[in-house]
Structure 1
Amino acid sequence: MLCYRRVHMAFHSYFCEAGVGMGRQRRRSVHRQSMFATTALIALATVCTTTELRVPIELRSSSQAVVELVAAIDESPTTVGLADSNLMRLDDIGLVNKQLDMMQAIGVQNVRVGISWLSTQLENGEFSWDNNNIDYVINEAHRRGMGILAVLHETPGWARLDPDNTLPMSGMPDPTKFGDFAGAVAEKYEGKISAIEIWNEPNGRPFLNPVDPAGYTNMLKAAYDQIKAHDDPDDADDDITVVAGVLGSGVNLSSGSLLMNPTDYLAGMYAAGAHGFFDAISFHPYKNDMKFSDQEHQRESPLLQLREMRAMMDSYGDTDLKIWATEYGLPTAPSDAVMYQKQADFIADFLKNWQKEDRTGPIFIYSTRDLETGTSEHQDNFGIFETDWDEKPAVQVIRDFIASLGPVEPDHPILDAINNLIRGLAHATVAVINGVVDLVVDVVDAVIDATVWVVKTIADVTVKVVQGIVDLTSWVVHGIADAVVNSVNWVVDTIQECFGNEESAPAQSRMAATVTASTLDEPATSDSGAPEPVETGISDVGADASEQAETAVAESEVVRSAVDETQLDETRPDETELDETVAAEPDREILENDELEITEPGPGEQPDLTTTDEADEDRDELESASAADAETDSSATAGNAASTDQKSDESAGDDADQNTRIQSTRISAG
Structure 2
Amino acid sequence: MPLRSAFSLAAALLALLACLAPAAVASPQVKVGIADDGILLHSPERAPEVVAAWKAAGIESVRIQVRWAGVAPGELSPTMPLGFHPSDPDDPQYSWKYLDDAIGLVVANGLNPILTVTGSGPLWSSRVPSLGSPRYMPDAAKFGEFATAVARRYGRVASQYLIWNEPNQPLWLQPQQECVTGSRKCSPVAPHTYRALVRAAYPAIHRADPGAQVIAGTLAPRGADPTQRNRPLRPLAFIRAFGCVDEKYKPIRTGRCRGFQPARIDGFAYHPHSIKASPSTPSARTDDANIADLRKLEDTLDGVQRARGFSTPTGAHTPLHLTEFGYQTSPPDPYDGIPVARQSRWLQEAAYIAWRDPRVRTLVQYEWQDEPTKSVGSGRKKYAGWQSGLFYKNGKPKPSFAGFRHPFVADVTTLAPRVRFWGQIRPGRSHRVALQRRSPSGAWVTIARLTTDTRGVLVKTMTLPGRGAYRYRTTDAPSLLEPVVTSDVLTVTPLRRSPSR
2:396 maps to 1:377 = no
Cα distance in 2 between the residues matched to 1:338 and 1:223: 38
**Mapped partners of 1:213, 1:313: distance in 2:** 13
CA offsets per residue over residues 223-246 of structure 1, 9 Å max, x none? 1111000234xxxxxx22111011
Indicate whether 1:159 and 2:110 are aligned. Answer: no
The 1-side partners of 2:227 and 2:209 are apart by 40
- Letter paired with 1:386: Y
Cα distance between partner residues in 2 of 1:324 and 1:183: 22
Shift of 1:80: 1.0
- For 2:355 and 2:407, the matched residues in 1 are separated by 12
Paired position in structure 1 for 2:35: 83
Contact in 1 for aligned 2:144/2:200 (Cα 8 Å) = yes
Local SS of the residue matching 1:82: strand
Pick from 115, 119, 136: which aligns with 1:171?
136
Alignment partners' CA distance in 1, 2:69 and 2:31: 31
Q: Indicate whether 1:260 and 2:197 are aligned.
A: no
Give the corresponding residue for 2:68: 117
- Three-state SS of the structure 1 residue aligned to 2:116 is strand
Give the TM-score normalised by structure 2. Answer: 0.60
Give the deviation of 1:85 after TM superposition: 2.0
Q: Give the C-alpha shift of residue 320 in structure 1.
A: 3.3
Contact 2:218 2:269 in 1 (8 A): yes
Change (3 A) 1:165 1:249: farther
Residue matched to 1:327: 324
Could you tell me which amino acid in structure 1 is paired with residue 69 of structure 2?
Answer: L
| Contact kept? 2:141, 2:200, Cα under 8 Å | yes
**Alpha-carbon contact 1:328-1:365 (below 8 Å) kept:** yes
Secondary structure at the counterpart of residue 339 of structure 2: helix
Q: Provide the rounded CA distance (Å) in 2 between the counterparts of 1:357 and 1:297.
A: 22
Q: 1:349-368 alignment to 2 at 5 Å? A: 349-368=349-368
* Equivalent-residue separation in structure 1 for 2:113 and 2:41 (angstroms): 17
Q: Distance in 1 between matches of 2:94 and 2:316?
A: 37
Secondary structure of the 1:229 match is helix
CA contact (8 A) 2:55 2:109 kept: no
Structure 1 counterpart of 2:98: 133
Write the distance in 2 (CA, Å) between the matches of 1:353 and 1:216: 29
Contact 1:248 1:285 in 2 (8 A): yes
Please say if residues 273 and 326 of structure 2, whose CA atoms lie closer than 8 Å, have aligned partners that are also in contact. yes
Task: Say how many residue pairs are matched.
Answer: 328
1:390 aligns with 2:396: yes
Q: How does 1:35-114 map to 2 (within 5 A)?
A: 78-92=30-44, 94-114=45-65
Query: Is contact 2:30–2:360 with CA below 8 Å preserved after alignment?
Result: no
Partner residue, 1:285: 272
SS of residue paired to 1:334: coil
**Aligned-partner Cα distance in 2 for 1:301–1:269:** 17
**What SS class does the counterpart of residue 372 from structure 1 fall into?**
coil
CA distance in 2, matches of 1:374, 1:397: 28
2:321 counterpart SS class:
strand
Q: In structure 2, what residue type is equivalent to 1:244?
A: A
Deviation (angstroms), 1:371: 2.2
TM-score (norm 1): 0.45
Aligned position for 1:198:
163
Q: 1:401 aligns with which of 392, 397, 407?
A: 407
Q: How does 1:274-313 map to 2 (within 5 A)?
A: 275=262, 277-295=264-282, 299=286, 300-302=288-290, 303-304=292-293, 305-313=296-304
What's the offset of the Cα at 1:161?
0.6
**Cα shift at 1:183:** 0.3
Aligned residue identity for 1:259: P
Q: Does structure 1 residue 215 correspond to structure 2 residue 181?
A: no
> What is the alpha-carbon distance in structure 2 between the residues aligned to residue 338 and residue 218 of structure 1?
39
**Distance in 1 of aligned mates of 2:138 and 2:374:** 38
Q: Is contact 1:335–1:374 with CA below 8 Å preserved after alignment?
A: no
Deviation, 1:129, is 5.1
User: Structure 1 residues 129 and 397, CA, compared in 2 at 3 Å: closer, same or farther?
Assistant: farther
Question: Over alpha carbons, which structure has the higher Rg?
Answer: 1
**Preserved CA contact (<8 Å) 2:58 2:427:** no
Question: Which consecutive residues of structure 1, in runs of 5 or more, have no partner in the other structure?
Answer: 1-74, 233-238, 411-670
Residue ranges of structure 2 left out of the alignment (5+ in a row) = 1-26, 74-79, 85-90, 177-189, 245-256, 376-381, 409-422, 431-501
**Counterpart residue type for residue 275 of structure 2:** N
Offset at 1:136? 0.4
CA deviation vs aligned residue, 1:362-398 (integer Å, no higher than 9, x gap): 1101001122269752524221112232211111111
Distance of 1:188 and 1:339 partners within structure 2:
43
CA distance in 2, matches of 1:306, 1:330: 20
Query: Which amino acid is the alignment partner of residue 322 of structure 1?
Result: P
1:155/1:171 contact within 8 Å kept:
no
**Superimposed CA distance per residue, residues 30-85 of structure 1 (whole angstroms, 9 cap, x where no aligned partner):** xxxxxxxxxxxxxxxxxxxxxxxxxxxxxxxxxxxxxxxxxxxxx95522100112
1:364 aligned counterpart, secondary structure? strand
Aligned residue type for 1:260? L
Q: Following TM superposition, by how much is the alpha carbon of 1:326 offset from its aligned partner in structure 2, in angstroms?
A: 0.6
- CA offset at residue 144 of structure 1? 1.9
RMSD of equivalent CA atoms = 2.8
Report the CA distance shift for 1:182/1:338 in structure 2 as closer, same or farther (over 3 A): closer
Alpha carbons of structure 1 residues 408 and 204: separation in structure 2 relative to 1, 3 Å: closer
Distance 1:276 1:298, change over 3 A: closer
- Specify whether residues 399 and 256 from structure 1 end up closer, same or farther in structure 2 by C-alpha distance, changes over 3 A only: farther
**Do 1:87 and 1:113's aligned partners in 2 also have CA atoms closer than 8 Å?**
no
Shift of 1:132: 5.9
DSSP-derived class of the 2:324 partner? strand
- Give distance in 2, aligned partners of 1:86 and 1:251: 25
Deviation at 1:280, TM superposition (A): 0.6
> Greater strand share, 1 or 2?
2
Distance in 1 between residues matched to 2:366 and 2:426, nearest whole Å? 24
Letter of the structure 2 residue corresponding to residue 404 of structure 1: Q
Q: Distance in 1 between matches of 2:224 and 2:282?
A: 18
